[in-house]
A and B are shown apart, each in its own frame.
Chain A
Amino acid sequence: MIAGVASGLARHLGVPVLAVRIALVVLLGFNGLGLLLYAAFWAVLPQQAPTGDTPPRRDLAMLLPFAAIGIGVVLLQSLAFGDGPAGTVGWLIAVIAVGAGVIWHQSDPSRRGHWADNASQTPWLAAVVAESDRRSFLFRFIGGGVLVAVGIIGVVAIYSPTRGGLTSVFNGVIFALVGLLGVGVVVAPLLWRTFSQLRTEREARIREQERAELAAMIHDQVLHTLALIQRNSTDIKEVQRLARGQERSLRNWLYKPAASPTEKFAAALEQAAAEVEDTYAITVETVVVGDTECDDRVAALVAAAREALVNAARHAGVDTVSLYAEVEADELSVFVRDRGAGFEMAGVEESRHGVRGSIIGRMKRHGGRADIRSAPGDGTEVRLTLPASREGVTAGKETAR
């Protein structure tokens, strides 16, 4: 009921909890043996792993009958045998046991396992220096230590041959404190050094991880691409495509937070541009201002933009195509511009299914508009606009990527 020892014992022995409790309380009478046992069991027995259900609140009222029985037994015992020093010693030993238990419990196996990461040989040291719950540890450590010290001093005071009373006890305490202080002075630098060592170790580990990630990236991508470039060195188009693809992936890796193309407008556009770059070995200069969530309509806009990019890549005959997109409060707009061959709108439009179906038609279906401006020799610009959807617009929230 206090630390759950009785119920644990009962479960272990297969006897009712009540019987164990009564037995312990009765044993109290014999030089505080019950308390001693209780403390000893608590200190030594393995802690049960917490089960999912929360334990019922400890009811202090339930303790009362046991306390009454305990006091009765103790009184009876002291009447019968007289209050000798032995009884007091029993109590003091119980206090020592409780203190030790407090300290020992601090390093129960699950926690010790956690500390083992930090310092394998000296779990208690690691516990002191571990940054997490160091304070609670210190608190319990000191509390337990005080209990142990009080117990020991008491025992010593009772059995000390000089029987000098309180003064000698105080002297003992002062000596002990001085001794502890000395130990502290000796140990403190060690603790500090271990602490900082652990910290540098942790930092080094993080750095090591980063380096490993970088090495993996360079190995998987850059070296691979360089090898491919050497093998394809006669094919200019292929070399350009490889170099551009690698540049893009390095740039993304260096400068951009990862965003999912299925969720974000800018990421979706960039992915579409990347695909076109890869397929047609051109450069798409992508500038996106603002960002918004993706939905069906935005996806359609991206698909139309992609189609416009593909058209430019296939027909314009240029190396670079500009893609500009802007998210405004009331409208999304995308511009795809090239300085390539251009074409006569009236002349070719009928035969170019891509333009009619995939761009103009698609934009109309989703409530948007597509304008195409082109003249032979003067390049082409496709302008796509889509009224903003009701929600999800975060105009200019993200930085231009």
Chain B
Amino acid sequence: MTDPTPESAQPRRLAVFLVDDHAMFRAGVRAELGAHVEVVGEASSVAEAITRIAATQPDVVLLDVHMPDGGGRAVLEAMRRSHPQVKFLALSVSDAAEDVIGLIRAGARGYVTKTISPDELAAAIRRVAEGDAVFSPRLAGFVLDAFAARPDVPIADPELDQLTNREREVLRLLARGYAYKEIAKELYISIKTVETHVSNVLRKLQMSNRYELSRWAADRRLV
């Protein structure tokens, strides 16, 4: 999407910024990602992250969920309006639904857990940088659950509060551990179409007012 184009790198490497309060984890990620992307900066606190992200203008920020002073959500809220071109990918050890849903609704383009392999993480960063969404199998599971057809839930806005059958199929395959390429093959659609479906789901996840989503968010006092 956006191309800030750093002058030096010929085959342009993505500029990635790490936000995590664990120095050891930052060092690990930096080492793992070094071959794939350019790590342009690190921050260990919310305030530091806000100033340094504004200064370095990275393509993608890897954002930890749990930090003192508001965690990843505080960073997202501070940066999203002023720096819409910066993409955020949440990276956390937490598997709790509230964390996942809360970060996505605050504007993160994806959510992966810290157990992800370096190659997968690099692929996820690339995908987020291109404006697509990244769902871990677990996040796909959450979304399927949150959007499950339930007779007792009123649908205020069918466009936002329901998933299409195709989107559901894509999410199911994601939850089953399929890569985009494999999903495309399985459903006889192009990878681009898979990406479109996932992005649509992300939009619904961010905009929908379905009860489960607000509840998860409210549990953490995020809304």
Question: Which A residues contact B (CB, under 8 angstroms)?
Answer: 251, 254-255, 283, 285, 287-290, 322, 324, 326, 335, 337, 339, 381, 395-396, 398-400
Contacts and interface: CB of A to CB of B under 8 A. Distances in A.
Contact of A400 (B142, B176, B178): B142
A339 B148 CA distance: 28
29 contacts: A251-B95, A255-B94, A255-B95, A285-B138, A287-B140, A289-B141, A289-B144, A322-B137, A322-B176, A324-B137, A324-B175, A324-B176, A326-B144, A337-B176, A337-B177, A339-B177, A395-B148, A395-B150, A396-B145, A396-B148, A396-B149, A396-B150, A398-B145, A399-B145, A399-B146, A400-B97, A400-B141, A400-B144, A400-B145
Interface in B17-47: none
A251 B216 CA distance: 18
Contact of B97 (A288, A326, A337, A399): A399
A77 to B, nearest CB: 75
A370 to B, nearest CB: 15
Given A335-B176, A337-B177, A285 B148 contact: no
Nearest to A244: B115
A290 B144 CA distance: 9
A251 to B, nearest CB: 6
Contact of B96 (A255, A290, A322, A335): A255
Interface in B95-143: 95-97, 115, 137-138, 140-142
Interface residues on B, range: 20 to 34
B172 interface: yes
A282 to B, nearest CB: 13
Contacts, number: 60
B150 A287 contact: no
A106 B159 CA distance: 64
Contacts of B141: 287-289, 324, 400
A328 to B, nearest CB: 9
A322 B178 CA distance: 9
Nearest to B148: A396
B176 A381 contact: yes
Contacts of A395: 148, 150
Contacts of A290: 145, 148
Contact of B137 (A285, A381, A396, A399): A285
A11 B72 CA distance: 74
Question: For B138, B148, B150, which residue has the most chain A Cβ atoms within 10 angstroms?
Answer: B148
Nearest to B142: A400
